[in-house]
Amino acid sequence: MSNARIPSLEMGRLLAILAVVIIHAGPLRGEAYSEGINTLSDVINQICRFAVPFFFVLTGYFVQPKLTENPTRTFMHYAKPLMLIWLAWSLIYLAVPFRLDVVMTEGYLTERTGYWNYLLQAPLNTLFEGGLVHLWYIPGLLSALGILALLINKNQQGLIMPLALGLYVWGLGAGSYQPIMEGEAPIFTRNGPFFSLLMVTAGFEMRRRNIRFSNKAAWTMTTGGMALCLAEGVNLSRYDMWMANHDFLIGTPVMALGLFALLLNHPNLGNTPLTFALSKRVLGVYVAHFVPLILLFNLFGMHAIEGPVKDMLVAPLTILLSLGLVWCLEKTPLTRFLVEMTQGKKALTPAETTK
């Protein structure tokens, strides 16, 4: 099977990055809206949670041939550029102030010190997360790839899925289902391999075993997974757990796998030059989008722009400004590494990262 870029999966990457921005923008939320509209915001948030699991499945799918053939080399092929991106953006977000009003009234160090102290309260978790919350994706992905590479290298492939399922259950028990299962974990269980290993393994096994789902089954998985996530969120609210705080639930892998399978069944969907031009910048937009998002939140706050006007503007402007920022960073070798996985002087495409 070829590692060529599949248009529908590239379009899926675009849908996923849009969902990530919507999660972080938090539309239809706050005192400007009724309780019912705030509930709708929580529903939108939970539906958008397919995004990062989709990225994990996609990576597992494309990395499988080379990870099986040469696990150590393939892992290092990913790890070196991704860790550089993670470290660089962690330092950037440690330096970027979140509250410009506090900077102007109390000074830069006062604004930043509170955040730095917050991160130092849980240094191990910060190591698996980075300088800002969304950067957990990179250590999570590398944790999963590292475990896969180790088990393949030791010829213990039979342990991969049991370990992935075990970590997922542990993550649920110490995460969203902690009030019920009373689990404990050394780090916040969204981070590290607790959830990422299962999703990467799912894509890996779909490729290795050539697993395909019918359109009907894929639609059922997608919609059923979404419905299950929403039902779980409603049920867990009885334990004073806010629906929008659930990064992963039982229905999450079902939802993400269903969407992935559906797009795989329609490979020419979104087959346009624009899809490919935008999708190659998804990683850059992912790591960089909090810069314009923080700026927009501050500007809207200063000018008392709230409610529908704010919500209509935040997500689209964040996407456009992030694309502009990524485009600018691509233009010079000194900053290109911030938004591209590179090997030497050559940027790696999603397909080439497995070669």
Question: Which pLDDT tens digit goes with each residue over 12-47?
Answer: 999 999 999 999 999 999 999 999 999 999 999 999
> Residue ranges of the domains in the chain?
43-276
CA distance to 218, 228, 279, per residue, from 223 (Å): 9, 9, 25
Mean pLDDT of 318-340: 97
How large a percentage of the chain has pLDDT more than 90? Answer: 94
Q: Flag whether pLDDT at 355 surpasses 50.
A: no
**DSSP for 78-102, written as a single string:** HHHHHHHHHHHHHHHHHHS-S-HHH
- Rg of the chain, C-alpha, whole Å: 20
pLDDT of residue 236: 97
Question: What's the pTM?
Answer: 0.95
Work out the pLDDT band at 343, boundaries 50, 70, 90.
Answer: low
Rounded Cα distance, 95 and 97, in Å: 6
Q: What is the pLDDT of residues 207-219, one digit of tens each?
A: 999 999 999 999 9
Q: Flag whether pLDDT at 107 surpasses 60.
A: yes
Mean pLDDT of 142-162: 97
Q: Flag whether pLDDT at 345 surpasses 80.
A: no
pLDDT of residue 3: 57
Task: Check if the beta carbon of residue 62 is closer than 8 Å to that of residue 353.
Answer: yes
Q: Flag whether pLDDT at 168 surpasses 60.
A: yes
Q: Flag whether pLDDT at 352 surpasses 90.
A: no
Rounded Cα distance, 49 and 306, in Å: 25
Which residue type occupies 182? Answer: E
pLDDT of residue 89: 98
Rounding to the nearest 10 degrees, give the CA dihedral for residues 148, 68, 2, 138. Answer: 20
